[in-house]
Amino acid sequence: MSRRDMSYAAVMARKNEIMKASLGIDYDDFIQSPIAFDYDRMMRETGYTMDDMVRIQSETKVGNTPLFELRNLTEAVRKISEPGKGALILVKDEAANASGSFKARRASISAYEAFKKGYKGMIAATSGNYGAAVASQAAQRGLKCIIVQEVFDSRGVGQPEIVEKGRACEAYGAEVLKLSVGPELFYMLLRTLEETGFFNSSLYTPFGIRGIETLGAEIAAQVRARYGKAPDAVAITHAGGGNLTGTARGLLAAGCEQTRIVACSVDLSGLHMASDHDFNRKSFTTGHTGFGVPFATWPDRTDVPRNAARSLRYMDEYQLVTQGEVFYVTELLTKLEGLERGPAGNTSLTAAVTLARQMDRDQIVVVQETEYTGAGKHHNSQLSFARQNGIEVRRGDPKDNVPGKTIVIPQHLEQVWGKVQDMDKLRLSYLKNAAKTHPVAQWNENDYAFLAADLKKDVAWVKQHAPDLSN
């Protein structure tokens, strides 16, 4: 019996058949052109209602997490705001989920789907909280679990946060394949899926995104029950886009059409996420522009044929903050509110501080997730690691922050301002990527309609800007 060719080129050439076997989804059923597909039908045909997902998640210690008023932080923000300004800041404490983050919602539906379809195990490629979430959910469903994780640079040095997350995966019983940074991650994922026949628990499947919808629905229900209205704004840490997409879909399903969806990423401009040199010169493994911008401007750069996480379809605003601002707000949350939570989740809390200063006092801004912290995930570990890699850490004005060179921690709350990303610039970048995939001259009306929906614009806007792309 001849052995299959397991070379890089051969495995990559088989990616579509591997994906189909490992997911039970035939993406060809939804694809309409090189850029367009029936997104709504793909999401709908997961077959799960909101009630179904709430029930499934309740079986494995996920969901119904508390919503807290951050009274002391709100008061501190009001003291530095103009008269009448300073919205009430609420936080959804997702660290209460099994595995300690909102990613448990994402993993729970995938684990249920894998169990229901008779797969013996689950596999995910991730360096983050999602690996621990998949491992935790697999354990509860009696499934095996393999996590493929980028850990090391060429010196064999791993970031404390990534090492800690690998430890958590192993604690839940998963096998962790630890790789160095580079292109082999996707290859190893495909190869492992093919060799094991396990379920592909990709971050970007419809199951993963739909699982987060319960988070948006819970926020809507809890805010309405307590304050008699929908939240005015929800701040969401943005990386690959699933967190924002799922939460926004849940809010919309609950009738919160007027709630402002605000993305927030740590600004790591100038650092390349696939660079061996830059890999350990960032102090955040997720929630930063190295993922946030590329995935917003071309979602289909993922490990599935079509990405269910499409952030520009739902995003109203995009805030950028510095590493120093997030570390400062992380300390404030601990000291003022008695909540010690991880910096990655506190990225959106940093944006909420900025938003609250600009909003009226009778308005509400919700920080939609927290994550557990400790060991390598703690901000003190991250700052020590930064110093070891030659990065200057000091107090001062965060405007002086230079990613990969300096981390400037604010001296007082007034310095936490962040900055707003140009949304139309992101949309134009998306259109350029679409034009590279499928020439503008070949776009039909269905393509234009899909692009308009994906960019939260109308067809006229897309047509107005599309001709510029053919040059």
Per-residue pLDDT in tens (0 to 9) along the chain, 471 residues: 347 889 888 988 888 888 889 988 889 999 999 999 999 999 999 999 999 999 999 999 999 999 999 999 999 999 999 999 999 999 999 999 999 999 999 999 999 999 999 999 999 998 789 999 999 999 999 999 999 998 888 888 888 888 888 999 999 999 999 988 777 888 899 999 999 999 999 999 999 999 999 999 999 999 999 999 999 999 999 999 999 999 999 999 999 999 999 999 999 887 776 677 777 777 777 788 888 999 999 999 888 889 999 999 999 999 999 999 999 999 999 999 999 999 888 999 999 999 999 999 999 999 999 999 987 788 888 888 889 989 999 999 999 999 989 999 999 999 999 899 999 999 999 999 999 999 999 999 999 999 999 999 999 999 999 877 654
**What CA–CA distance (Å, rounded) separates 69 from 75?**
11
Assigned CATH for 8-52+101-205: 3.40.50.1100
**What CA–CA distance (Å, rounded) separates 26 from 45?**
11
Joined together, the tokens standing for residue 71 give 């009274």
Residue with tokens 């090492």: 163
Q: How many CA atoms lie within 13 A of 452 on its CB side?
A: 15
Residue 273: predicted pLDDT: 65
Residue 309: predicted pLDDT: 97
Look at residue 17 and give its three-state secondary structure: helix
Residue type, 208: G
| List of E strands, 80-211 | 88-92, 121-125, 144-152, 175-180, 199-200
Stated as kind and residue range, the H or E segment containing 320 is: strand 317-321
Look at residue 192 and give its three-state secondary structure: helix
Residue with tokens 């300073």: 86
Residue 293: predicted pLDDT: 93
Q: For domain 58-99+207-420, which architecture applies?
A: 3-Layer(aba) Sandwich (3.40)
Report yes or no: 247 and 368 within 8 Å, Cβ to Cβ: yes
Report yes or no: 250 and 214 within 8 Å, Cβ to Cβ: yes
Q: What is the dihedral of CA 245, 248, 250, 252, to 10 degrees?
A: -130
Exposure string over 121-149, b if 16+ CB within 10 A, otherwise e: bbbbbbbbbbbbbbbbbbbbbebbbbbbb
Stated as kind and residue range, the H or E segment containing 462 is: helix 459-465
Residue 228 phi, psi dihedral angles, 5° rounding: 75, 15
pTM for the whole structure:
0.95
Residue type, 71: R
Measure the N-to-C terminal CA separation of the chain; round to a whole number of Å: 52
Residue with tokens 């949304």: 423
Exposure string over 310-348, b if 16+ CB within 10 A, otherwise e: bbbbbbebbbbbbbbbbbbbbbbbeeebebbbbbbbbbb
Residue 308: predicted pLDDT: 97
Report yes or no: 133 and 372 within 8 Å, Cβ to Cβ: no
Residue 382 CB contacts under 8 Å (≥ 6 apart), including other chains: 160, 161, 283, 284, 327, 343, 376
Stated as kind and residue range, the H or E segment containing 407 is: strand 406-410
Residue 2: predicted pLDDT: 47
**What CA–CA distance (Å, rounded) separates 202 from 199?**
9
Rg of the chain's alpha carbons, rounded to an integer? 21
Q: What is the DSSP letter of 205?
A: S
Residue 275: predicted pLDDT: 73
Residue 258 phi, psi dihedral angles, 5° rounding: -95, -5
Burial class, 392, CB count within 10 angstroms (exposed 0-12 / middle 13-18 / buried 19+):
exposed
Report yes or no: 202 and 302 within 8 Å, Cβ to Cβ: yes
